[in-house]
Amino acid sequence: MLRRSLLGAATLAWTLPRVSRAAAPDSLVFSWPSNAGPLDPHGYGPNQMYAQAMLYEPLVRYGASGTIEPCLATRWALDESGRAWTFTLRPGVRFSDGTAFDAAAAKANIDILLRHRERHGWLELMSRIEAAEAPDPATLRLRLDQPYDPALFDLSLVRPLRFASPAVLLPGGSVSAPIGTGPWRLAESRRGERDVFLRREDYWGEKPALRQVVVKVVGDANTRALALEAGEIDLVYGADQLDADTFRRFAADARFTTAISPPMATRMLAINSGRAATDDLAVRRAIQQGIDRDALARHVLQGTEPAATSLFAPGMSKAAPGLMTLPFDPMAAVTVLEQAGWQLPPGGRVRQKQGAVLALDLCFSGGDALQKALAEAIQSDLGRIGIAARLLGADAATLQARQRSGDFGLVFTETWGPPYDPHAFLGAMRAPSHADWQAQRGLPMKAAIDRRITALLAATNATAREADEQWVLTTLHEQAVYFPISFLTNKQVHRKGLGEVPFGGTFDEIPFHHIRRG
Amino acid sequence: MRRWLPRLALLLLALLLGLAALAPWIAPFDPAETNLAQRLMPPSTMHWLGTDHLGRDLLSRLLWGARASLGAVGAILLLVLAIGTVLGCLAGLLGGVVDTVLMRLADAFMTVPTLVLALFFVGALGTGMVNVIVAIALSHWAFYARLVRGLTLSLRARDHVAAARVAGASRLDIARRHVVPAVAGQVAVLASLDLGHWILHVAGLSFLGLGVAAPGAEWGVMISDARPFFRTAPMLVLLPGAAILLTVMAFNLLGDALRDRLDPALAEHGH
Amino acid sequence: MLAFALRRVLTLLPLLLLVSVVFFAMLRLGRGDPALDYLRLSQIPPTEAALALVRQQLGLDRSLPAQYLSWLADAVRLDFGTSWATQRPVLEDILQALPATLQLAGAAMALVLLLGLPLGLLAALYRDRWPDHLTRALAFLGVSLPNFWLGFLLVLLFSVQLGWLPAMGREGPASLILPAIATATVSLCVTLRLMRASVLGVLGERHLVFARARGLPERGVIARHVLPNALIPPLTTLGLHLGELLGGAMVVEMVFAWPGLGRYALLAIGNRDFPALQGFVLAMTAVFVLCNLLVDLAYAWLDPRIRLGAKAA
C-alpha cells in the first residue's frame, strides 16, 4: 500500500506542469529587491530610481558617452552672468494622462520642489535655484543665486528634478498618481510581488521594442540566481544584483549571456582621520599598502570589478591623472608602521605605540554578503601587518548612525558614478552628516578642502576649476583617507535568446527602452 | 526505543561538547584566517574538509561553530532556568498578588509564538549573538516558570514540606531543601526536550543574519554565507546543516531518554 | 455555548493588554533614539531643530505612560501608526503581507494534519514492521531538520535539478508546495510520533478487546473506537504547532522570497522601524490568539465536559 502511494506521488509530480518559461515575446521579466514605491518623481525613500527613471524624464539627459543630450529640452543657454539658464522645451510632449508638457507644467514641478527645498539640500543645484519662470509655453528659465557650473549634470539626475503631470501634484510635495512623460507607465503594482510597466503608445520619442516589463520582487541574490536559472526571470542587471561567484557560474554556462560594463564608480574604504589609531598618517599609509587589493578583486570579486587604480574611475575626473593607488607591499607597510613607532610587543600580534594598541573598527553593512566577505579578508590582511581590525557588521540603521557621527575606523563607501562623479560627490564631502566629512575631519587642511570644493563648484573658468580639483584630489591622495578597492561595474545576465541588452550610462537607470527580444 | 540509542546520543553529545570546548586547541587553523588564493578548495591533507569562499579552513570553522551553537544554547539554558525557577518558586511560595502578577506576565509571554517573540526582541534590542540569546531566553522562560510554580504548589501541600514549615524553616530554606530537588527532574526533562529546539532557533536567527558577528563561525551563518557557492562547493552548505541536524538529533534522543527515565507518565507519548 | 465564548474572549482581553504593555516597554527601553531613526528613514538631515520637531510630532517628549496610553487609544481604533520606512499605514502594510504568511502556515498545517495523522496511524497499525520502522526513522530525522536548510535542499532538487516546482515567489498553487513542506516538516514529524503513540495506547485498552471479541470487523473497530480517542492528544497540541508553524514561516519565507510578514519583520528590524515592528508582533499575536480561541471553542463544542467544567470553575 505504501509502495503504491509512493509511486502515485512520483507520477503526480511528473505530470505537474513544468515551471512556466518565457512569457510573451514582447514582454520582459526583471526582478528588484522591493516594489517600485509610490513613484513620486521628487521623492526618495521607498521610491526606486530605476522605476522613477522609466516614468519621468529630465530636461537634459546624461548620455552613454558622458555628454549632456537633449530630452524634454531641445536647446539650452546660459546667460553671461552665469546665473540664468534658458531651456527651449520640446513641442508635442504629453504626460500619460494626456496633459501637455509645457513651461507652466515644468514650473509647477519646480515650484513644488523649491517649497520643500530642505528635503533636497544634498543637491547643490537645489540650493542655487532661486526661481523658475515661464515666459512662454515653450520656454523655461531657471534663475540661480550664484553661478553653478555642473547645473546640467544635476538636472539630468533621476531625482528630484523630473516632471509629473501638474494634475497629480499635491501641495504637500508628492503625487496622487504616477503620471510622467516617459516611455513607460505603471499598469499594476502588487506589493511584495510585482510591478508591471506598459509601453506608452503615445510616447513622443522612439517607442520601446518591449510592450511590457514585469518586475518581480526578489529580496536576495541567491533567490534571484535560482529564479534566473529556473527561467522565472529573464534578466539580471545592476551593480549588486548577483554575487560574483554566481555571475562567474552563469558566465561559464553556455545557456546564458553575461556582460560587464566599463568601470563607472569606485568601491572603497573611508579611513577615519579623526580617530585613533587612524589619525596617524603612517597608519593610513600602511593600510594603503597592507591590503591585497588585487587578491580582493580576483578572488572575492571574481574579476567582475577591476581593482581600483585611483579615487575616481577613469574618465570621471579630468584632473589628477597621476594619482595612482600604491601597490600591495606588506613589507613596506610594516616599515612605515615601525618607523612611526608602532612596534610588535614580544610574542604579540598587534602593534603598540606608547601603550596605545593599533586597533580599529571596520564597519560594514551586516546584510551585505559582499561587504562581509571583503571585510573578513581585509581583517586578515591587516592582521598580518599587526593591525587589529574589529569587524562591526551593523544593520543599515546603526551603520548610518556610525557614519554620521564618525564612529568608525574604516567603513565601506562608494563614489556615486556618473553623472554625480566627481562634482556631486566632492560637494557632499562638505556635509558633516556624510562619512566622507567625518573621515576627513582630522585632516589639518579640512577647512581648505571644503573651501576649494565650494570654489570649484561655482567656478566659471575651467582652468581655475581644474586647479582646485587637482589640489583637492592630490591632498586626499597624500593624506590617504580613502582606500579604493575596486571600480564598480554594471553586470548583466540573461538567457541566450533574449537578444540585445545595452548598458546605460549610469547606475540609476536601466535601459529597458533599448532592450529588444531576439 | 532501542536501548543503545540514548547511549549513542550521550556519546555523541559528549563528543560534540568536547570538540566545542577544545576547539581553540584542536582546530587546525584560525577560523577567521583568510587565504584568498586557497578559496573553495576540496578536502586535502592540509584542509581535511576543504576551505570556504575566503579560503578559511572548513573543519576549524565547524569546530568553532559547535562552540558558538552549544555555547549559545548553554547560555539560554542557564538564563531560562534562572528566570523560570526563581519566578516560578516566587509565585508558588509567596502566592497572592505576586503569584497573580507573575503568572499573568507568563501568560502574556506565552500568547506569542516563540520565534516571533524572539524576532521582536532582537528587533528591540538590536542584532548580535548576545541579544539573540537574551531574546530566545525571554521568549521561553514562561513555560518553565509555570512548570516550577505548579510543582511548587503541589509540593507545598505535601506532608514533609508542611512539617518543615511548621518547624519554622524559612521560605528560602524550603525552596532550597525541598522544592529545587523535586523540581529538578521535571525541569531537566523539559529543558532537554527544548535544547534541540533552541539550537534550531539560534541557527535560524543566525541564518537571517541577526546572530553571530563576522568573522565568527556559527553553523547558521555558515549556511547563509555559503548559499552562493553550493554548486561549486556543496559541502559548505551540507556540512553545517548536517552538524545542526546531528546535534539536534542527539539532544532530542537524550530528551526522550530522560523523559522515559524520569517521567514515566509521559513515557508512552511521543515514540 | 455563546456564554462560554464570551467568557473566553473576556479573559483574553486583559492578557492582550498586558502583552501590549510588554511590547511597548521593550521597544521604548531598547536601543537607539527613535527620533533619529525616524529622520533617517524619512531621509531628512538630522539637525537639532529637526530632532526636536520630530520628538514633538511623535510624542516622544511626553512621559512613557502617556505615550503608551495615546498609542493604545490609537491601537484600539486599529490605527497602528505609519511605518517610518514605507511611509504607509502599518495596518495596510500588514494586511497586505499577512495573507501570504497565513497561506503558508495554513498549507503547512494542512500537511501536518493530512500527512502526520494518517502516517502515524499507519505506523501504529504496522507496529514493528517495515512501514513503522520507515516512518519512524523519517520522523526521527524530520524533527531535527533546520527548516531553512531543508528549504534550500528542496529548491536545489525540485526547482533547479528537476525543474518541477518554482524556486521562489508566490504565483499559483505550485509555488506553495516547497515552502509549505519546509515549514511543516518538524511539526509534521512530531504529530506523526504523537499519533502513533496515541493509537498504540488506545489499541491496548480493554474495551477494544471486547469490541473485537464481539466480532466487529477490524476496520470498523479502528474507525469507530480507535480513531476518535486516539485523535484527541495530537489535536490538543495543534495550537502549539500553529505557533511553531507561524514562527517557522518567518525563516522559510526568506529562503523562498515568499512575500509574507517574515520579510516585513526583517526589514523592520534592519531599519529599526518601530511602528512596523510593533505592528508585526501584534498581528502575529492576534492571529495566534484567535486561532487558539477557535480551537478552544471547537473543543468545547465537541466536548460538553469542557464547557461545563469551565462554568464550574
Grid cell 592630490 — which residue? Answer: A474
- Predicted pLDDT of residue A12: 34
Q: Do B214 and A246 touch (CB under 8 A)?
A: no
Q: Quick check: B204 contacting C, CB < 8 Å?
A: yes
- Residue A511 in contact with residue A481, Cβ under 8 Å? no
Nearest-by-CA chain C residue for B195 = C144
The nearest CA of chain B is from the CA of A396 a distance in Å of 11
Domain ranges (residues) in chain B: 68-268
- Predicted pLDDT of residue A289: 94
Q: Quick check: B252 contacting C, CB < 8 Å?
A: yes
Question: Rounded mean pLDDT of C125-151?
Answer: 89
Nearest-by-CA chain A residue for B52 = A373
- Residue C228 clears pLDDT 90, i.e. is over it: no
Backbone angles phi, psi at A174, to 5 degrees: -125, -165
Cell, residue C59: 510624542
Interface mutation target, options A3, A19, A175, chain C, most CBs of C under 10 Å:
A19
The answer to whether residue C232 is domain-embedded is yes
Question: Rounded mean pLDDT of A443-464?
Answer: 88
Grid cell 569606485 — which residue? Answer: A266
Closest by alpha carbon to B255, among B152, B186, B202?
B186
Q: Which CATH number fits domain B68-268: 3.30.70.1710, 3.40.50.300, 1.10.3720.10, 1.10.1740.10?
A: 1.10.3720.10
pLDDT band at A294 (very low <50, low <70, confident <90, very high): very high
Backbone angles phi, psi at A363, to 5 degrees: -100, 140
- Predicted pLDDT of residue B95: 82
Q: Quick check: B2 contacting C, CB < 8 Å?
A: no
Q: Do C160 and A229 touch (CB under 8 A)?
A: yes
- Predicted pLDDT of residue C22: 85
The answer to whether residue C312 is domain-embedded is no
Cell, residue A273: 582621520
**Which residues have CB under 8 Å from C130's CB, separation 6+?**
none
Backbone angles phi, psi at A487, to 5 degrees: -95, 125
The percent of residues above 90 in pLDDT, for chain A, comes to 52
- Residue C238 in contact with residue C187, Cβ under 8 Å? no
Residue type, A465: R
Question: Rounded mean pLDDT of A154-178?
Answer: 91
Q: Quick check: A259 contacting B, CB < 8 Å?
A: no
Question: Rounded mean pLDDT of C238-248?
Answer: 87
Average pLDDT over chain A reads 87
> Is residue C237 helix, strand or coil?
coil
Rg of chain C, C-alpha, whole Å: 24
- Residue A20 clears pLDDT 70, i.e. is over it: no
- Residue C85 clears pLDDT 70, i.e. is over it: yes
Count Cβ neighbours within 10 Å for each residue of C149-171 and write b for 16 or more, e otherwise: bbbbbbbbebbeeeebbbbbbbe
Which helix (H) or strand (E) segment holds residue A110: the answer is helix A103-115
pLDDT band at C207 (very low <50, low <70, confident <90, very high): low
Question: In A, which residues are within 8 Å of B39 by CB distance?
Answer: 299
- Predicted pLDDT of residue A3: 34
- Predicted pLDDT of residue C313: 37
Question: In B, which residues are within 8 Å of A299 by CB distance?
Answer: 36-37, 39, 55
Of B105, B120, B125, the CB nearest to C18: B105
Q: Quick check: A397 contacting C, CB < 8 Å?
A: yes
Least trusted range by pLDDT, from A180-189, A284-293, B175-184: B175-184
What is the Cα–Cα distance from B67 to B61, expressed in whole angstroms? 10
Predicted confidence (pLDDT) per residue in C152-175, tens digit: 899 888 887 888 888 777 777 888
> Is residue B134 helix, strand or coil?
helix
Nearest-by-CA chain A residue for C119 = A2
Residues of chain B numbered 235-264 and touching chain A (CB < 8 Å): none
pLDDT band at C308 (very low <50, low <70, confident <90, very high): low
- Predicted pLDDT of residue C221: 73
Backbone angles phi, psi at A27, to 5 degrees: -125, 150
Question: In B, which residues are within 8 Å of C276 by CB distance?
Answer: none
Q: Quick check: B123 contacting A, CB < 8 Å?
A: no
Question: In B, which residues are within 8 Å of A298 by CB distance?
Answer: 36
DSSP A117-159: GGGGTTSHHHHHEEEEEEEETTEEEEEESS--TTHHHHHTSSS
- Predicted pLDDT of residue A190: 87
What is the Cα–Cα distance from A156 to A148, expressed in whole angstroms? 15
Q: Quick check: B232 contacting A, CB < 8 Å?
A: yes
Question: In B, which residues are within 8 Å of C14 by CB distance?
Answer: 104
Interface mutation target, options A126, A232, A402, chain C, most CBs of C under 10 Å:
A232
Count Cβ neighbours within 10 Å for each residue of A176-194 and write b for 16 or more, e otherwise: eebbbbbbbbbeebebbbb
CB atoms within 10 A of CB A33: 16
Q: Quick check: A9 contacting C, CB < 8 Å?
A: no
Tell me the torsion sign for CA atoms A300, A302, A305, A308.
Answer: positive
- Predicted pLDDT of residue B269: 41
pLDDT band at B189 (very low <50, low <70, confident <90, very high): confident
Q: Distances in Å between the alpha carbon of A109 and those of A36, A47, A114, A140, B234?
A: 21, 17, 9, 12, 54
Nearest-by-CA chain B residue for A247 = B228
Cell, residue A416: 556615486
Backbone angles phi, psi at A8, to 5 degrees: -55, -45
- Residue A73 clears pLDDT 70, i.e. is over it: yes
- Residue B267 clears pLDDT 60, i.e. is over it: no
- Predicted pLDDT of residue C46: 66
The answer to whether residue C111 is domain-embedded is yes
Cell, residue C73: 487609544
What is the Cα–Cα distance from A395 to B126, expressed in whole angstroms? 9
Domain hosting residue C179, numbered range = 99-259
Q: Quick check: A320 contacting B, CB < 8 Å?
A: no
- Predicted pLDDT of residue C115: 93
The percent of residues above 70 in pLDDT, for chain A, comes to 94
- Predicted pLDDT of residue C32: 67
Q: Quick check: C19 contacting B, CB < 8 Å?
A: yes
Closest by alpha carbon to A213, among A231, A232, A195?
A195
What is the Cα–Cα distance from A33 to A11, expressed in whole angstroms? 36
Taking 3-state DSSP, the helix, strand and coil percentages for chain B, each rounded to the nearest 5, stand at: 75, 0, 25
Average pLDDT over chain C reads 83
Chain A: list its partners (3+ Cβ pairs within 8 Å): B, C
- Residue A170 in contact with residue A185, Cβ under 8 Å? no
- Residue A9 clears pLDDT 50, i.e. is over it: no
Cell, residue B255: 530528551
Closest by alpha carbon to B129, among B73, B200, B53?
B73
Question: In B, which residues are within 8 Å of A227 by CB distance?
Answer: none
Predicted confidence (pLDDT) per residue in A393-442, tens digit: 877 767 877 887 788 899 999 898 888 888 888 888 888 878 888 899 98
Question: Rounded mean pLDDT of C6-10?
Answer: 81
Cell, residue B225: 554565507
pLDDT band at A2 (very low <50, low <70, confident <90, very high): very low
**Based on the structure, what is the number of domains in chain C?**
1
Residue type, C160: V
The nearest CA of chain A is from the CA of C308 a distance in Å of 43
CATH of the domain at C229: 1.10.3720.10
Grid cell 515568499 — which residue? Answer: C258
Q: Quick check: B64 contacting C, CB < 8 Å?
A: no
Question: Rounded mean pLDDT of A431-454?
Answer: 88
Predicted confidence (pLDDT) per residue in A83-131, tens digit: 999 999 999 999 999 999 999 999 999 999 999 887 787 788 988 999 9
- Predicted pLDDT of residue B17: 92
The percent of residues above 70 in pLDDT, for chain C, comes to 89
- Predicted pLDDT of residue C206: 66
- Predicted pLDDT of residue A133: 93
Name all domains of chain A by residue range, CATH numbers in brackets: 9-33+183-261+490-514 (3.40.190.10), 58-166 (3.40.190.10), 266-488 (3.10.105.10)
Which helix (H) or strand (E) segment holds residue A377: the answer is helix A369-384
Better-predicted residue by pLDDT, C171 or B31: B31
Nearest-by-CA chain A residue for B231 = A249
The answer to whether residue C59 is domain-embedded is no
What is the Cα–Cα distance from A45 to C43, expressed in whole angstroms? 7
pLDDT band at B137 (very low <50, low <70, confident <90, very high): very high
- Predicted pLDDT of residue A221: 82
What is the Cα–Cα distance from C260 to C136, expressed in whole angstroms? 33
- Residue A4 clears pLDDT 50, i.e. is over it: no
- Residue B11 in contact with residue B267, Cβ under 8 Å? no
pLDDT band at C236 (very low <50, low <70, confident <90, very high): confident
pLDDT band at A319 (very low <50, low <70, confident <90, very high): low
Better-predicted residue by pLDDT, A28 or A19: A28
- Residue A110 in contact with residue A143, Cβ under 8 Å? no
Q: Do A364 and B214 touch (CB under 8 A)?
A: yes
Bridge partners for A488 per DSSP:
A265
Predicted confidence (pLDDT) per residue in A325-345, tens digit: 889 999 999 999 999 989 889
Burial class (CB in 10 A: 0-12, 13-18, 19+), C175: buried
Of A44, A220, A223, the CB nearest to C43: A44
Question: In B, which residues are within 8 Å of C193 by CB distance?
Answer: 270-271
**Which residues have CB under 8 Å from C280's CB, separation 6+?**
B120, C94, C261, C264, C265, C268
Question: In B, which residues are within 8 Å of C143 by CB distance?
Answer: 196, 248, 252
- Predicted pLDDT of residue B14: 93
Interface mutation target, options A299, A368, A485, chain B, most CBs of B under 10 Å:
A299
Residues of chain C numbered 245-304 and touching chain A (CB < 8 Å): 254-257, 259-260, 263, 269-272
Nearest-by-CA chain C residue for A431 = C45
Backbone angles phi, psi at A251, to 5 degrees: -60, -30
Residues of chain C numbered 226-245 and touching chain B (CB < 8 Å): 233, 242-244
